[in-house]
Structure 1
Amino acid sequence: MRRTLRRAVLALAAVAILVAGRPATAAAGPPRRIMSLNLCTDLLLLQIAPKSRIASVTFLARDGARALFPGLEAGIALNHGSAEDVVQVKPDLILDSQLGAPLTRAMARRVGARVVEVKNADSFEDIRQTVRQVGEAVGEPGRASALIRQMDATLAELAAHPPTRRLRVVAWSGGSAVPGKGSLTDAIITAAGAVNIAAQPGSAETSFGVEELLAARPDALLFGGATLGKPSLLSDEGQHRVVRRLYAGRRIAYNDIAHTCGLPQSADAARELRRALDALPERRPVR
């Protein structure tokens, strides 16, 4: 009798230890301390999860949010994506890219946090998948679906009213590499009803120097190159005097973030590009 009772007590103690050591599960409800370690997941998380359940986003989120939805990041703690940040925050869910630091992920396992890897988006279908993925992970599939519907409505509107001119463009900010076929920028250009002249079969990033640019003679240049509003050497190279002369008034600035991160706002970038292209005057022949 005593031996049986002792076994029962030991079994109950073992169960208690296992339960105490386990991280929170889905049965306990949605995650309550969500941490993002990547700018793109920051911007998705801020739109999908209630602010009360966001424990931390990266220091890049402040400028990123201001460019798209000012104020949404206010009051949320910032991190630098380090293992020390994970220990301090003690999240129950971490959103990261597929290229996250192994040490940080190891620390996440030690604190009992679930890690969700969100892949980079190169198309609007990729965006739908990542938005759904984040929505499911944070327990807000309804919010995620609403964002997708809004994005799809914008894309449908663009498709239903094609432009009167199908202009040839290239996202060229100087340097030799431009977004080619299979890139998110290419998807945005296509949705806007334009033709990306750099969209050749092969890599999503292709070579395109000044000489190639002048020979191709696109109708407009899409100008990025300033990450989060900060100037770069690449954008300075785009100030070539011949380029300035030939494309005066035909250089269109775009939001780098909506072309780099797969977000519902990438559809808004396509709509803004359509408006800018429609506003371009007819091109004069070269003399």
Structure 2
Amino acid sequence: MLSLFPRSLGVAVTAAVVILLATSAGTPESAPAARAVTDDLGNTVHVPESPDSILSLSLFSDEVLQDILSPARFAAVHSLAVNPVYSNTAEKASQIDPVIEFNVEQIIDIYPDLVIAADWSEADKLDQLRQAGIPVYQVRTAVEPAGIRTAIRQLGELVGEPAAAAELIADFDRRKAALAEIVAAVPAEDRLQAMDYTTWGASAGTGTSWHTILELAGLDNAAAALKADDFGQVPLSKETLIELDPDILFLPGYVWGEPDGADAFYRQLRRDPAFADLQAIRNDRLYLFPERLKGTYSHYIIDAAEHAARTAYPQLF
């Protein structure tokens, strides 16, 4: 599985390097006026009124900020943001230089005036950036529309672009309402059950962005009633999958480290005798789902929902 960040150096070595770089980099002599804001984890962060050297360390903030800011406002971009397999704004991200990993020494050397990270980002590395005097703002991860709207609004205010963020939210709401109207035409008795199925034999349960995608698409999550783990994943045996027997199975559109992995997994399921009687296979409703849509938790969740709805109910479009 792809890791967003490289392995950290030894604690003692890293601490020494951080102190050295912080001392040599320092705070710019003509630092712009700063304002105090509180991030989603309760940290007080001193942020320039209009930061113009921003580093985003999560795909959520990448996709939001790259849609409301010019490339010139970014100090750097991380490698996943420029990868079209995972990122919905890869083309925009490719206009930003340099491309980096989550490497403390490299970030301190760049010295952005604002780093934006997720609530699950590596805390020890973020602490090292704070110790070096770099403002770090953490955003709580949302998996449903209301939380996504709130986070977009926050980011817009944080970078001094509230109007652009409001336009992004308005477009999201417009498309969400349009999709809801379309899928509302599906009679309750004709509403389909769908689920994702990973190469390691699991599906996303409730409280996940995938569950939200299915809801917005007018689909019922076939795994919703099953207990999920701390990451929202529901482990599935072959027997459980056969018992659930969803109308539609969405499979990974990409398998890390295996260029042909997604196609191979698709063929494997179609040829498995144990699954011969699954509705999804009998009715040819086994679909690869693009990874950048499957994994998104930004406003692009509506793109994912539209894709799922068009796949499930093509007659409505």
Q: Give the alignment partner of residue 51 of structure 1, picking from 47, 65, 71.
A: 71
Q: 1:52 to 1:198 in 2, by over 3 A?
A: same
CA drift of 1:181 comes to 1.0
Q: Please state if 1:194 is matched with 2:215.
A: no
- CA–CA separation in structure 1 for the residues paired with 2:162 and 2:170: 12
TM-score, structure 2 normalization = 0.73
Instruction: Name the CA distance, whole Å, in 2 between partners of 1:66 and 1:117.
Output: 21
Q: Residue 101 of structure 2 aligns with which residue?
A: 80
Larger radius of gyration: 1
For 1:188 and 1:136, locate their aligned partners in 2 and report how far apart those are by CA, in whole Å: 27
CA distance in 1, matches of 2:154, 2:85: 20
Task: For 1:128-147, list aligned pairs within 5 A.
Answer: 128-147=149-168
Q: State the distance in 2 between where 1:123 and 1:259 align.
A: 14
User: Is 1:122–1:262's contact at 8 Å kept on the other side of the alignment?
Assistant: yes
Give the superposition deviation at 1:72. Answer: 0.8
RMSD: 3.0
Q: How many residues align?
A: 263
Conservation of the 8 A alpha-carbon contact between 2:226 and 2:234? no
1:30 equivalent among 50, 71, 76: 50
**Matches of 1:58 and 1:118 in 2, distance apart?**
17
CA–CA distance in structure 1, aligned partners of residues 141 and 254 of structure 2: 20
Asked whether 1:211 is paired with 2:239, we answer yes
Q: How does 1:131-170 map to 2 (within 5 A)?
A: 131-161=152-182, 162-164=184-186, 165-170=190-195
Distance 1:105 1:181 in 2: 30
Give the letter for the 2:238 counterpart: V
Distance (Å, rounded) in 2 between the aligned partners of 1:102 and 1:24: 27
Structure 2 counterparts to residues 172-251 of structure 1, below 5 A: 172-200=197-225, 202-203=227-228, 204-224=232-252, 226=254, 231=259, 236=264, 239-240=268-269, 241-242=272-273, 243=275, 246=278, 247=281, 249-251=284-286
When residues 233 and 89 of structure 1 are mapped into structure 2, their CA distance, relative to the original with a 3 A threshold, is same
8 Å CA contact 1:223, 1:253 repeated in 2: yes
SS in 2 for 1:257: helix
Gaps of 5+ in 2: 1-26, 36-46
Structure 1 unaligned runs (5+)? Answer: 1-17, 281-287
Query: What SS is found at the alignment partner of 1:173?
Result: coil
Distance 1:146 1:213, change over 3 A: same
Which protein is richer in helix relative to its size?
A: 1
SS in 2 for 1:222: strand
8 Å Cα contact 1:168-1:196 kept in structure 2: yes
Farther off after superposition, 213-222 or 103-112: 103-112
User: 2:73 and 2:262 mapped to 1: Cα distance?
Assistant: 39
- Residue number among 260, 263, 267 corresponding to 2:298 in the alignment: 263
Q: CA deviation at 1:68?
A: 2.5
CA contact (8 A) 1:135 1:143 kept: yes
Contact in 1 for aligned 2:255/2:261 (Cα 8 Å): no
Superposed structure 1 runs of 4+ greater than 4 Å apart = 18-24, 227-238
Please tell me whether residue 125 in structure 1 is matched to residue 143 in structure 2.
Answer: no
Match of 1:91 among 93, 112, 118: 112
Answer yes or no: is the 8 Å Cα contact 1:83–1:107 preserved in 2.
Answer: yes
TM-score normalised by structure 1 residue count: 0.80
* Greater Cα shift, 27-36 or 58-67: 58-67
